[in-house]
Amino acid sequence: MREKIEAAFLGWRSPASIAEEFGLTDRASVYRHAHALGPSSKRQKNLRAALERIIEKAGEVDVTASAVVAAVQAYAKINAAGEWIDRTETTSMNDLFEKMSTQELEAYAQTGALPEWFTATVGETENVVPKRIVVDV
């Protein structure tokens, strides 16, 4: 019975419903057991299970589209170990400069003006790319 209770707890079932199903006094007894014997920390790492339950129920209950999208976005950011991973996309500034034509490079060297395609690729570049590079020889 203990294994079934822990499995239900780790699967993010409501402690109140677990207590009711297994004839326990109340949900507090489920929490006491979880904190004393360790399932509580395992449950915290198993956030994906909670989000899976929300996503699976999306077609059965009244939820807003934004709630489902938020659950899916959160689900995508949690790895198998239960860790939140913020994925980022990077753009190599060197690669972008290498794509510039000779004329674009000369214009940048003389005036600090970047081509439109460059700023569209990286967005506002005021704090990323210096307005002008001066080299003392």
Domain count, the chain: 3
User: Domain check: are 61 and 102 in the same one?
Assistant: no
Based on the fold, state whether residues 69 and 27 are members of the same structural domain.
no
Confidence of residue 124 (pLDDT cuts 50, 70, 90): low
Note whether 33 and 57 are same-domain residues: no
pLDDT tens string 25-69: 899 988 888 888 777 777 777 777 777 877 787 778 777 788 878
pLDDT tens-digit readout, 85-105: 877 767 777 888 888 899 998
79 and 103 in a common domain? no
**DSSP state, residue 91:** -
Confidence of residue 23 (pLDDT cuts 50, 70, 90): very high
**Which residue range(s) make up the domain with 5?**
1-45
Whether residue 134 contacts residue 112, with contact meaning beta carbons closer than 8 Å, is answered with no
